[in-house]
Amino acid sequence: MRTESIATIRPYEPGDEMACRACVVDLQEAERQLDPRLRPGESMADEYLAQMHKHCRDYVGTIFLAEYAGEVVGLAMVLARVPFEWLDEPPGDYALVAELVVRDGYRRRGVARALLDVAGGYAREAGASELRIDVLSENEPARQLYLREGFTPYKETLNKPLR
């Protein structure tokens, strides 16, 4: 059963910096719960936002915001033309949902699904034939959402601590 999102999805606009920053901090802190080695969100958010905008310029990308009652409650960054880099990969490029976050209190209300739908539409319109998304293996709720939305496992990176 699909539920309608409580949020309106719109493109990033000048003036959205602080709202996007808050989303980045939230995402980083959520991922730090799964991997404590990650930097604190507050310490990396400004530089990371600059990096997000650079990636959008370099890979035909954009940022979409989910807004509810005038408040930004989530974001998705989609890159439409990410080149395959290794000779053993397919030729050409792919689209990537490089960031997806829904702020605490707005999860499980269809916001992530709505962001994924808009990101997929953007990638399709840009000519992409494949959309990818990464997820931390321990982030089971996100992983289950992506599987429900038609993503399938493709490649897995395994990690072995050496200390």
Residue 20 lies in a domain: yes
Q: What is the pLDDT of residues 7-66, one digit of tens each?
A: 999 999 999 999 999 999 999 999 999 999 999 999 999 999 999 999 999 999 999 999
Residue 155 lies in a domain: no
Q: What is the mean pLDDT of residues 127-131?
A: 95
Structural domain including 123 reads: 8-148
- Residue 50 has phi, psi (to 5 degrees) of -60, -40
CATH number, position 132: 3.40.630.30
List the structure tokens of 97: 């949902």
- pLDDT computed for residue 71 by the predictor: 95
CB of 38 closer than 8 Å to CB of 28: yes
Residue 163 lies in a domain: no
* Whole-number Å distance between alpha carbons of 80 and 94: 7
pTM exceeds 0.75: yes
List the beta bridge partners of residue 157: none
- The two most distant CA atoms of the chain are separated, in Å, by 48
20: left (phi over 0), alpha (psi -120 to 50) or beta: alpha
Residue 127 lies in a domain: yes
Residue 157 lies in a domain: no
Residue 87 lies in a domain: yes
